[in-house]
């Protein structure tokens, strides 16, 4: 035995160890649970149990420390993940709020367009730019000549009348709001049917309904709509019955022939996202021409 070379001895040891392992495996799997090897295993487990308990207790602080580090790492990772999720959700929330706002505006716009003549045609457009000055109350919309938009066509928005088209390109158009200094709209007070001209109050928020006869009894809260008058060749740009606003106050100056009525516009002209251009008021195509009240 001792004369064996180191190589043989090494190989013999390996072979023996592997063989023992294989025998153990074979016996372990072939014997029942109550067999000898299983019993030895249970006994060894019992014997090692105190050692394991001691080691576990001794190792616990270190394990807790590593666990704490791991927990902190996990918490950081989770925090990062949650932040990303919150960011996404905020984006979704903003998108939903925008969608809701736009849906409300479109719904209100539909209600206004219901006041138009039965076979009137409209083009819905998105407001893409607002004039930044108080002197030129204009907006730019994303529909133009190619969509049938022409100069002087009336524009409505959620709440009521917004203005008229003053310039077009192929893909967009500029709209002068009813608060623009150049604007003048023939209107009448409902239900009395008193007519006048709506003009903007420069620098103010309200509109002025002028040329109302003094003997007309105008009351606060009465509704002002477009009159859509027609007199021979002369015809208003705006179809009849589009809501403009409601009477806020009445100014009766003794020296004036007419009374001036302050009107609060229904349309929120500073926060419009969508408008509708009335391309046909039902009777005839609204086409370019000289600005008329």
Partner 1 sequence: MTPTPATFARLAALVLFGVVLQVAGVATIHIFGTQPDLVPLIVGAVGLLGGSMYAAVVGFSCGLLIDLALGQPLGASSLVLTAVGYAVGRYQEVRDPAHGLLPIPIGAAATAGYVVGFAALSFMLEVRGPVSASVIREMIITILLNALLALLIFPLIRRFMRASLVGDPRRRPANAPTGPLGLRGLEI
Summarize as ranges the residues that interact with partner 1 (CB under 8 A): 9-10, 13-14, 17-18, 20-29, 37, 40-41, 44-45, 48, 51-56, 58-59, 62-63, 66-67, 70
Distance of closest approach, residue 75 Cβ to partner 1, in angstroms: 14
Choose between 54 and 289: whose C-beta lies nearer to partner 1: 54
Choose between 50 and 203: whose C-beta lies nearer to partner 1: 50
Distance of closest approach, residue 3 Cβ to partner 1, in angstroms: 17
Choose between 70 and 91: whose C-beta lies nearer to partner 1: 70
Choose between 14 and 202: whose C-beta lies nearer to partner 1: 14
Choose between 2 and 62: whose C-beta lies nearer to partner 1: 62
Distance of closest approach, residue 39 Cβ to partner 1, in angstroms: 11
Distance of closest approach, residue 124 Cβ to partner 1, in angstroms: 52
Distance of closest approach, residue 101 Cβ to partner 1, in angstroms: 45
Distance, CA of 6 to CA of 3 (rounded, Å): 9
CA dist list (Å): 202 to 134, 148, 163: 8, 31, 15
Residue-by-residue DSSP string for 54-113: HHHHHHHHHHHHHHHHHHHHHHHHHHHHHHHHHHHHHHHHHHHHHHHHHHHHHHHHHHHH
109 burial (CB, 10 Å; 0-12 / 13-18 / 19+) is buried
Q: Which two tokens stand for residue 166?
A: 């003053």
Distance, CA of 107 to CA of 172 (rounded, Å): 23
Distance of closest approach, residue 148 Cβ to partner 1, in angstroms: 59
User: How wide is the angle at C-alpha 94 spanned by C-alphas 131 and 105, nearest 5°?
Assistant: 55
Choose between 65 and 167: whose C-beta lies nearer to partner 1: 65
Angle separating helix axes 36-113 and 6-30, nearest 10 degrees: 70
Q: Which two tokens stand for residue 57?
A: 């207790």
């Amino acid at each position: 035995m001792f004369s064996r070379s180191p190589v043989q001895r090494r190989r013999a040891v390996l072979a023996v160890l592997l063989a023992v392992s294989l025998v153990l495996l074979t016996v372990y799997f072939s014997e029942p649970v109550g067999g000898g090897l299983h019993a030895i295993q249970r006994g060894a487990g019992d014997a090692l149990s105190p050692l394991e308990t001691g080691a576990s207790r001794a190792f616990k602080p270190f394990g807790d420390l590593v666990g704490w580090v791991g927990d902190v790492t996990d918490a950081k990772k989770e925090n990062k993940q949650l932040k990303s999720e919150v960011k996404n959700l905020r984006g979704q929330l903003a998108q939903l709020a925008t969608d809701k706002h736009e849906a409300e505006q479109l719904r209100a716009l539909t209600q206004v367009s219901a006041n138009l003549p039965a076979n009137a045609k409209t083009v819905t457009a998105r407001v893409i730019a607002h004039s930044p000055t108080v002197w030129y109350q204009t907006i730019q919309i994303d529909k133009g000549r190619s969509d049938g938009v022409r100069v002087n066509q009336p524009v409505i928005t959620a709440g009521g009348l917004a203005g008229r088209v003053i310039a077009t390109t192929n893909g967009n158009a500029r709209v002068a709001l009813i608060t623009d200094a150049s604007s003048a709209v023939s209107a009448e007070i409902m239900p009395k049917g008193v007519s006048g001209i709506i003009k903007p109050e420069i620098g103010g928020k309200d509109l002025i309904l002028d040329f109302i006869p003094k003997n007309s009894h105008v009351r606060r809260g009465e509704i002002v709509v477009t009159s859509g008058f027609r007199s021979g060749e002369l015809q208003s740009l705006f179809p009849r019955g589009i809501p403009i606003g409601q009477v806020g106050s009445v100014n009766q100056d003794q020296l004036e022939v007419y009374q001036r009525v302050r009107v609060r516009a229904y349309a929120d002209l500073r926060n419009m996202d969508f408008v509708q251009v009335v391309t046909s008021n039902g009777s005839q195509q609204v086409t370019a021409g000289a600005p008329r009240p």
